[in-house]
Amino acid sequence: MRIVALAGGIGGARFLQGLRAAVPEAELTVVVNTGDDITMYGLRICPDLDTVMYTLGNGIDTDRGWGRKEETFVVKDELAAYDVPTTWFGLGDRDLATHLVRRTMLDAGFPLSQVTAALCARWQPEATLLPMSDDRVETHVMVELDGTRKAIHFQEWWVKHRASLPALAIVAVGAEAATPAPGVLDAVDAADVVLLPPSNPVVSIGTILQVKGIREALRGKTVVGLSPIVGGSPVRGMADACLDAIDVETSAEAVGRHYGSELLDGWLVDTVDAGATVPGVEVRAVPLLMTDVQATAAMARAALELAGV
Ligand code: FO1
- When divided into structural domains, the chain yields a total of 1
Whether residue 58 lies inside any domain: the answer is: yes
pLDDT in tens, 49-78: 999 999 999 999 999 999 999 999 999 999
Stated pTM of the model: 0.97
Q: What is the mean pLDDT of the chain?
A: 97
- CATH code, 63: 1.10.8.240
Q: How high is the pLDDT of residue 76?
A: 97
**Does the beta carbon of 35 lie inside 6 Å of ligand 1?**
no
Q: How high is the pLDDT of residue 219?
A: 96
DSSP structure string for 33-64: --TT-EEETTEEE-HHHHHHHHHHTT-B-TTT
Q: How high is the pLDDT of residue 272?
A: 98
Whether residue 11 lies inside any domain: the answer is: no
Which residue lies with its CA nearest to atom 16 of ligand 1? 66
Residues of the domain holding 105 = 37-131
Q: How high is the pLDDT of residue 29?
A: 98
Whether residue 27 lies inside any domain: the answer is: no
Q: How high is the pLDDT of residue 155?
A: 98
Ligand 1 atom showing the smallest separation from residue 89 Cα: 6
Euclidean distance between CA atoms 155 and 299, whole angstroms: 29
DSSP structure string for 208-236: HTTSTTHHHHHTTS-EEEE-SEETTEESS
pLDDT in tens, 295-306: 999 999 999 999
Euclidean distance between CA atoms 255 and 17, whole angstroms: 23
Whether residue 171 lies inside any domain: the answer is: no
Whether residue 79 lies inside any domain: the answer is: yes
Euclidean distance between CA atoms 283 and 267, whole angstroms: 5
Which residue lies with its CA nearest to atom 7 of ligand 1? 90
**Does the beta carbon of 8 lie inside 6 Å of ligand 1?**
yes
pLDDT in tens, 169-226: 999 999 999 999 999 999 999 999 999 999 999 999 999 999 999 999 999 999 999 9
Residue 268 banded pLDDT, cuts 50, 70, 90: very high
Which residue lies with its CA nearest to atom 25 of ligand 1? 9
Euclidean distance between CA atoms 270 and 232, whole angstroms: 11
Residue 237 banded pLDDT, cuts 50, 70, 90: confident
Residue 236 banded pLDDT, cuts 50, 70, 90: confident
Whether residue 298 lies inside any domain: the answer is: no
Euclidean distance between CA atoms 161 and 163, whole angstroms: 5
Which residue lies with its CA nearest to atom 18 of ligand 1? 66
How far, in Å, is the centroid of ligand 1 from the Cα of 124? 22
Q: How high is the pLDDT of residue 32?
A: 98
How far, in Å, is the centroid of ligand 1 from the Cα of 118? 22
**Does the beta carbon of 234 lie inside 6 Å of ligand 1?**
no
Asked if residue 235 has pLDDT above 90, the reply is no
Q: Rounded mean pLDDT of 254-277?
A: 98
Residue 91: φ, ψ to 5°: -90, 115
pLDDT in tens, 26-39: 999 999 999 999 99
Asked if residue 124 has pLDDT above 90, the reply is yes
Asked if residue 80 has pLDDT above 90, the reply is yes
Whether residue 72 lies inside any domain: the answer is: yes
